[in-house]
Amino acid sequence: MFILGFPLLLIPFVIYNIVAFIFRLPDEIWTKSAATVHMISGQEWVLTWEDILLAFSILILAVEIMKSTRIGMRTIIDHMLAMALFIVMLVEFLLLQRAGTSTFFLLTMISLVDVLVGFIVSIRSSRAQVEIEAERPA
Provide the residue ranges of all domains of the chain, joining segments of one domain with +: 8-134
Q: Model confidence over 14-69: pLDDT tens digits?
A: 999 999 988 877 778 888 899 999 999 999 999 999 999 999 999 999 998 888 87
Report d(CA 135, CA 127) in Å as an integer. 13
pLDDT in tens, 64-114: 888 887 777 777 888 889 999 999 999 999 999 999 999 999 999 999 999
Taking alpha carbons only, the member of 64, 111, 58 closest to residue 84 is 111
Query: Would you say the pTM of this structure is higher than 0.85?
Result: no
Distance CA 124, CA 115 (A): 14
Cα(16)–Cα(34) distance, integer angstroms: 16
Taking phi first (over 0 means left), then psi (-120 to 50 degrees means alpha), and beta for anything else, what does residue 72 get?
A: left
